[in-house]
Amino acid sequence: MSEALNIIKDPTLTYRQELVGLARLGESTDTTLRYSDEYYAAKAKGALCDLNEGVMPFRPRYICPDYELLFSKGCEFLQLDPPRDLLEAVNALEIFYCHVPSITTYPVYLGDLDKLLEPFVLRENRDYAKKVLRLFLRSIDRIQTDSFVHADIGPEDSVTGRLLLELTEEMQLAVPNLTLRYDPDLTSDDFALACVRCMLKTAKPSFANHRMFVREWGERYAIASCYNGLMIGGGGYTLPRMRLYECALDAKDPDDFITRVLPRYVDLQLEYMDKRVKFIVEESSFFKTNFLVTEGFVHRELFIGMFGVVGLAECCNQLLGITDKRHGFGMNEAATKLGRRIMDAIERQVSAHTAPYCDAFDHHYRLHAQVGIDTDGMDDSPGTRIPIGAEPTMLEQLEVNEQFHPYFPTGTGDIFKFEETWLKTPEAVLPIIKGSLARGLRYFSGYLENNDVVRVTGYLVKKSEIEKLRQKKQSLNQVTLYGKGAQDGGHALDRRVQTYAGAGQ
């Protein structure tokens, strides 16, 4: 009851945020779904984390509806006909979004907005189309008030894509998150440069390696939430994570960690995932009665479990006795090499496991580099990133990132904070992105150091909204609290500034 009172007395929470907080409290205190004593011991010591998914799951964590189906046949449950013009199209989406659940309670995937809306935009006067899209984006920011809400554009240039970029710069909104699906054979340099300029000014869009995602998922994939790769018409059942630094505290040395400690924790997380997935499919009503399933907007066969890891850098430094992170993972070849050994071991064990209800993925889970949460502090850097405060130059950092991004089909990424001079020469940024994606980088994000809208670990917040929380005022964006915690505990906004002294810095 004290936890509930803390929620309803918190002056920084809006009514909706209080409601969500109370619901999560209820979900987390149920005892329906039980695990082994060894799992609970690992969770209690912080080696394993369920990312507040609760113990009575009633929906998958992430859902990526087929919005093209909405436009082609409408929705019987919501009494929506296929849209005939731009106004009807955005109205249908606004209504539909309110009925797409997720772990955040908000839709984590809004669709490939340029492809969805382009036929309607092309029929309208450009100024009128821009006005409608402006109102559409404003409604998303005010109604879907969580910057894990995510939309995609590209890889091809389009009128709608250009309008969305223009409006993103003009409106300076933290919601929705945005990704360009980038392929140099399909994305013109002119359009890519427009995306670079927008990214620098607004922290979006990020650049996703379209070729890599297509190889792993096929053409119909979505980038959702922070940077999660999933199937359109499917989603992610669950995303727990191993906190690798805390796991490493049990090991005598690197070999002991890889041969004895790590396999035990991997098995425990797989136990958690199997039981959760089975409960969602077999016990909860979502896949039996939800209109998204019964009308074909999502299919159970296209959902997958996401095996998350966090804190690889600190894990490697701990195992090698490195106390100064500036000389550790990412700056130390032995630590980086150990990181690859650890990821190889995790990948082998997870790939050998037969996962329930992952039909489209040969009954296997896929790895995810989790971005961290606001309470992590400095012990667990997001995924496989180099710790903040220890970053080398951008090109050196990218060379490390490129070694680890291929492990994570369900998502990983890195973030670069640029000095203001880069905005004058965005053509200096594009070759860096293009080259790193060609060498194996999965996802690239950036922003200017003096922006109000910034990228924290994968999601977006406004620094001005964080300041509101410091003054005990409310912020409409549900994740501003996470951004404040990530900055206070992990200095998430203090990453190295990439100064303009040539493209290598």
What pLDDT is attached to residue 151? 98
Rounding to the nearest 10 degrees, give the CA dihedral for residues 109, 114, 117, 118: -160
User: pLDDT tens across 33-61, in order?
Assistant: 889 999 999 999 999 999 988 888 899 99
What pLDDT is attached to residue 1? 62
CA pair distance 371, 225, nearest whole angstrom: 11
**φ and ψ of 206, to 5 deg:** -80, 165
CA pair distance 156, 180, nearest whole angstrom: 9
CA pair distance 90, 67, nearest whole angstrom: 11
User: Under a CB-based contact definition with an 8 Å cutoff, are residues 117 and 136 in contact?
Assistant: no
Strands (E) located in 25-124: 48-49, 62-64
Rounding to the nearest 10 degrees, give the CA dihedral for residues 452, 455, 459, 462: -10
What pLDDT is attached to residue 70? 98
Q: What is the pTM of this model?
A: 0.95
* 331, amino acid identity: M
Strand partners, 414: 444
- For helices 430-438 and 189-202, give the axis angle rounded to 10 degrees: 110
User: Under a CB-based contact definition with an 8 Å cutoff, are residues 118 and 159 in contact?
Assistant: yes
User: pLDDT tens across 5-14, in order?
Assistant: 999 999 999 9
User: Under a CB-based contact definition with an 8 Å cutoff, are residues 442 and 408 in contact?
Assistant: yes
User: pLDDT tens across 14-40, in order?
Assistant: 999 998 888 888 877 777 788 999 999
The pairing of strands 150-153 and 177-182 is: parallel
All structural domains of the chain: 1-30 (no CATH), 36-60+228-412 (3.20.70.20), 63-217 (no CATH)
Name residues of the chain where pLDDT drops below 70: 1, 501-505
User: Under a CB-based contact definition with an 8 Å cutoff, are residues 114 and 166 in contact?
Assistant: no
What pLDDT is attached to residue 2? 87
Cα–chain center distance at 475: 21
DSSP string, 102-158: -TTSS-S---BHHHHHHHHHTTS-HHHHHHHHHHHHHHHHHHS--TT-EEEE-SS--
Q: What distances in angstroms separate CA 369 from CA 187, 261, 383, 384, one per listed residue?
A: 27, 20, 4, 7
Which letter, b or e, does each residue of 44-64 get, where b requires 16 or more Cβ atoms within 10 Å of its Cβ?
eeebbbbeebbbbbebbbbbb
Q: What distances in angstroms separate CA 91 from CA 82, 96, 309, 382, 422, one per listed residue?
A: 11, 9, 39, 37, 38
What pLDDT is attached to residue 505? 45
User: Under a CB-based contact definition with an 8 Å cutoff, are residues 314 and 244 in contact?
Assistant: yes
CA pair distance 396, 162, nearest whole angstrom: 32
Cα atoms in the 13 Å half-sphere on the side-chain side of 474: 11
The tokens for 253 are: 């040395």
